[in-house]
Amino acid sequence: MRERGASEEEIASTLTGGERFGAKFGRSGFRRNFVFDGLWRGRRYHMKQVEVDWLVISLIVKYF
């Protein structure tokens, strides 16, 4: 997430209010544009687009 330049807030916002699209392997993806006006890896950009592929992740919790 950090290596790609996205924050937790941007990801959550993309999932809840972004445009939905069909992704690979029958998955759903979401995308949203954000005003950036900053430097990323030495280059200046006005906007950035965050894309998130929706993937089910299993969670196991064990108590002893």
This prediction has a pTM of 0.77
Q: Are 9 and 43 in contact (CB under 8 A)?
A: no
Domain boundaries, the chain: 8-53
- pLDDT tens string 15-62: 899 999 998 888 888 999 999 999 999 999 999 999 988 776 556 677
Q: Which residue has the tokens 């949203």?
A: 32
- Which pLDDT value is given to residue 61? 75
Burial class (CB in 10 A: 0-12, 13-18, 19+), 50: buried
pLDDT tens digit string along 1-14? 888 899 989 989 99
Distance spanning both ends of the chain, measured CA to CA = 32
